[in-house]
Amino acid sequence: MSRAPLEKFGGLFRLDGRVALVAGAASGIGRAAAQGLAAAGAITICADLNEAGAEETASDIRQQGAAADGLALDIADQASVSGVVRQIADQRGRIDVLVSTPAVNVRKPLLSYSAEEFEKVLRLNLKGSFLIAQAVGRVMSEQKRGSIILLSSIRSIVVEPGQGAYAATKAGLVQLARTLAAELGAAGVRVNCVAPGVVETPLTEPIKRNPDWYNAYASKSALGRWASVDEMAGPIVFLASDAASYITGTVLFVDGGWTAIDGRFQPPV
């Protein structure tokens, strides 16, 4: 029986020398993603509307011996996106990984929404993700390689009162990713979504301040707790790496079992 050399599997999760752009790297899941990609060997471009925060993330990575830059980026502004993507491509010669994390939520019933509030959620969550995926997708299509990772949510398939606009954008992201996967697959570009459950980030800080709300969400998952942002880094690195070389057009739920169970209470069975 022939034996496959084990060393061919040793580097599956490594990203050495690859250029990774992380939008939303100043905090939360974006910051953890940047750190995880850097730990796997990527040259990490930390971008955010909060330029000081992006540079802080990049500086922290550099202090630990990895390569990173910090940049200002507004993913909802086409000129900003085009300029940053062009700058990275010119300076680094390529973009191998894109992780796009920025999102906003206005928690209120749909009948109480203003048009301006709806536009605010749509502009960042869906339009912004489209703009940066499109711009980076063009670069990756030319270089015949790349991995695009968009941040969806469990709200793409399950919802509750007050989450309507946010859920609509997160469901839209899934179809955006699937379409890009179909259109860019022939060029060797993979496109996927990570769909977190409840994660302790600045976006969910209002919930954390309400113990009843916080505990109700914790009890809904199979694991009975919230996720930390660090627990999102591994799945993102996986989808960016060659370990996921045949995975595209899919959604990886990182939700502690939220969408798998009806975990509100333990029935007497």
Check if 217 is active-site.
Answer: no
The one-letter amino acid code at 152 reads S
DSSP type of residue 263:
T
Strands (E), 122-179: 146-151
Selected catalytic residue, list 166, 214, 217, 246:
166
> Which residue has 């993507």 as its token pair?
85
Q: Is 227 helix (H, G, I), strand (E, B) or coil?
A: strand
How far apart CA 147 and CA 70 sit, in angstroms, is: 21
Gyration radius of the chain's alpha carbons: 19
* Those residues with Cβ within 8 angstroms of residue 201's Cβ, 6 or more apart along the chain or in another chain: 27, 28, 29, 229
Q: Of the candidates 181, 75, 189, which has an alpha carbon nearest to the alpha carbon of residue 142? A: 189
* Those residues with Cβ within 8 angstroms of residue 135's Cβ, 6 or more apart along the chain or in another chain: 81, 82, 85
Q: Are strands 19-23 and 68-72 parallel, antiparallel or unpaired?
A: unpaired
Q: Is 63 helix (H, G, I), strand (E, B) or coil?
A: helix
What are the residue numbers of the active site?
166
